[in-house]
Amino acid sequence: MKTLYLKKLCSFCSATAVALTISVTSMQSAAETLRLSTPVPPSHIFSKVSTKFAEDLSARTNGDFKIKVFPFGKLGSDPENTLMIQTGAIQFAVIPAAFMANREESLNAWLLPGLFDDVEAAGAATQLPAAREMLAALDKQGMVGLGYVFAGMRNLLSVDPISNLKEIKDKKIRTFPGPIFNDWWLTFGAAPTALPTPEIAPALTTNLIDIVDVDLDLVTALKLYQQAPNLAITNHMAFPAIMVVSKKWWESKTAEQQTVIREVFADAEAWGIKAQVMAEEKNLKMLKDAGVAITKIEKISYADSTAEILNKYVNKTPLISEFYEQVKAEK
């Protein structure tokens, strides 16, 4: 009887050990399901690159790193995502450089008006030494900058047609909240207005704003042309975001794991630039087909305002100046 009892006890212990092992493994697996937040809809390039990065990283590591992408600010706004990255509450996020410029001033270099003619030129600048230094500077913010993701160039979508930037005087223009955006539009006498992305369409409908400073990805994704059927192609500014990683989480990974993550994102970064170059043409055609009235405003027509902003910002930090000179040298 005693022997039988011991056999049953051992059998029970073994089963319990197996159950515990499975439970712990499941918990570890769940813990390694990482979260990546983006501020835009799934069809926007920021979210598309995030999805590609997540899928490729899972494939490269045989599922050891599983990332779930949460688009359109489902996990929070840019300030909230930044805080969660810093605390390690989430592991990855795509955060616009325009927002991060409030914390790392050198990132304003990307937003210098007139600096780039198109996404391809802006994308090529990601490999410049100064561009990589900007990423490294994020370390003191409690995050690791993996690289860049580019939306389309900035243009103007409006309720009424615009043929010259002088015509936007006294108009309310929705733009990204940040000093360089405010300074830029104030040079034309416009009234820059900050609004969360989901509020743009209602604001156009209720005449709270007249114009939107925007990339074509967002115009098509949110169908903003239904409220504002006029598009002025200005290409006045590039608009990158940064794929950031929680430094707290990053430092818990091995050097080999960190290398793999960097390599996978480098591929996604290059893919995203090529995809966005093609998307610019596709988006423009779609808007034409939708009946949007499209005009082109040449850069020469607002060159004086461009020079004014460049003079103010280029020498704000040595890194902005270095980036500006490196970009000019590549042209």
**CB-neighbour burial class of residue 131 (10 A; exposed 0-12, middle 13-18, buried 19+):** buried
Contact 297, 150 (CB under 8 A): no
Residue 288 has a pLDDT of 97
Structure tokens at 156: 């103007």
- The residue among 65, 42, 28 whose CA lies nearest residue 262 is 65
d(CA 311, CA 199): 33
Band of pLDDT at residue 15, cut at 50, 70 and 90: very low
Question: Stretch 298-314: mean pLDDT, rounded?
Answer: 96
CA dihedral 158, 163, 168, 173 (to 10 degrees): 30
Residue 18 has a pLDDT of 35
Higher pLDDT, 170 or 9: 170
Structure tokens at 41: 């809809």
d(CA 287, CA 304): 30
d(CA 224, CA 218): 8
DSSP class of 314: T
Question: Stretch 180-209: mean pLDDT, rounded?
Answer: 96
Band of pLDDT at residue 14, cut at 50, 70 and 90: very low
What average pLDDT does the chain have? 91
- pLDDT (tens digit per residue) in 314-331: 999 999 999 999 999 998
Question: Stretch 258-271: mean pLDDT, rounded?
Answer: 98
Residues 6 or more apart whose Cβ sits within 8 Å of residue 142 = 85, 86, 246, 247, 248
- pLDDT (tens digit per residue) in 101-125: 999 999 999 999 999 999 999 999 9
Is the model's pLDDT at 24 over the cut of 80? no
Question: Stretch 204-227: mean pLDDT, rounded?
Answer: 97
- The residue among 126, 127, 192 whose CA lies nearest residue 154 is 192
DSSP E strand boundaries for 115-193? 143-150, 155-158, 172-174, 191-193
The pTM of this model reads 0.89
